[in-house]
Structure 1
Amino acid sequence: MKKEVIFDETGTYKYSLLCKWSEVNERKLTFILSFPENTYEYSDDTAVSKCIELAQKWGFGVLEIVYLFSYQTDHVSFLRMLSKEEAVGTRTGEYIQKAVEDAELVVVAWGDHGSIYNRQEEVERFLKHKPVYCFGKTKQQFPRHILSVVHRTELQKYEMPANREESEEVSSFIEDIDQSFGGEDYSPIKQLTEEEPLMFIEDIASMYR
C-alpha cells in the first residue's frame, strides 16, 4: 500500500492522508473525520485503520482522509484550549476541498466534535455538490464518529441543512444496493473487486434525483 501524508512544516498539523492499494482501480473514497491522533508519519491510528478496512471492502482503490481540525492530539479536550485558528490549521479548508472534489463518495464521521467552533457548519459548505453519506446521527444530530461504528452499520445519505426538509426518509446504502441486485444473500460490499468494481455510486445518486 502506498501512503502519502501531508503535514505542515512543523509537523504539528496533519492535513491529509492518501492511501492507494491498486494500480488499476482509481475509484476514490474520502472520509472526513474530526482530528488526527499523534502517530508516527506512516503509522495508522484506530480510526485510520477502520477507514482503510471499509474502503477496501467497498471496492475502492484510493482512500483520502481529511479532518475538521488538523491539529494532532490524543485528547479532543485540548482542541478547546486552542484558538479556532490554532485548532483548525491554516490549510485545512484547502485540503478538504481537494479531497472532496475528486472523490466518488464522501463519508462524514466526525461525531459530536463537529460542535467545536461550529466546524460542522463550515465544512458542510464544501459538500453541497457531492453524494455525502454517514453512519447515522448522534443524539445531538452530528454524523456518528467512525469509532462508534460497528460491523455492517448501514451507511445513510447525509442530509445537510438545505436538504433536510426535502425528505424524512433516508434509505440505507447497504439496503439500496441489495435491492438493486435482488436476492437476500447477495452482499455487494463483500463481492466488489479491484478488477471489476461495481458502478454503485451512479445507482445511489439516481435514487435521489
Structure 2
Amino acid sequence: MLDNEDAQKMIAAASAALSETSAQTMLTDGIADAYRSGVAAMEKTGIQAVVRSADTDDRTARPNLFTVTGQVWLDNPTLHQEVFGPLGLIVLANSVEQMVELARHLEGQLTCTIHLDEGDHAACQKLLPVLERKAGRLLANGFPTGVEVNDTMVHGGPYPASTNFGATSVGTLSIRRFLRPVCYQNIPKALLPKDLVG
C-alpha cells in the first residue's frame, strides 16, 4: 500500500484488532513449528514489528504483524517467502510505480486483492496487467479465500500454485486429492466392497 496517512490509520486499526485476538490451534505440530520459524526469520531481517505475540511451545499460534518499506522488501528475498499462519507483512510503497515494481517481484500466488475506490482506477490499471500473470484469482475489495464449493471452482494459478485441477483444494474436484486408487484383482465378488458390487 502507499505509505500515507490512510496507511497509518489502517495499521493502527489492524494492530488494535490483532492485539485482542486469542491463540488459535494449528493443524499439526509441524505447521506450528514452521510458523514459529517463519516469524523468527522475519525478525532476523530487522523489520518493524507492529504486533508481536509471544511464542508458545504447543500447537497454538498468535498473530504477528510487521511493516517494511518497499525498498527493503525488494532488497530482501527472505521477506518474499510465505509464512503459513496468522502473520501479516505490510509493505509500504513510496509511489504507484514502486507498487508495480513490488508486484513484478511477487512469486506465483493463489490470489491477489486490490482495495480501491474510483480514485484508484488509474493506479489499478497499471497493476492489473502484472497481477494477472501472478495469480489464479484477482479480487477487488474482498478477502480470500472465500470460495463457493461447486463444479467450476478450482484454486490454481502460476507456480507454485497449479493449473492442474487434480491439485485444487476447493471445489468438487478437490476430493481427488484425497482419493487413492485400489485394484481388486481376482477378488471374489462376495468379498468386494459394496460400492463396487453395485
TM range (shorter): 0.3 to 0.5
Structure of higher RCO (CA pairs closer than 8 Å, 6+ residues apart): 1
Name the structure where helix makes up a greater proportion of residues: 2
Q: TM-score, normalised by structure 1?
A: 0.31
Q: TM-score, normalised by structure 2?
A: 0.32
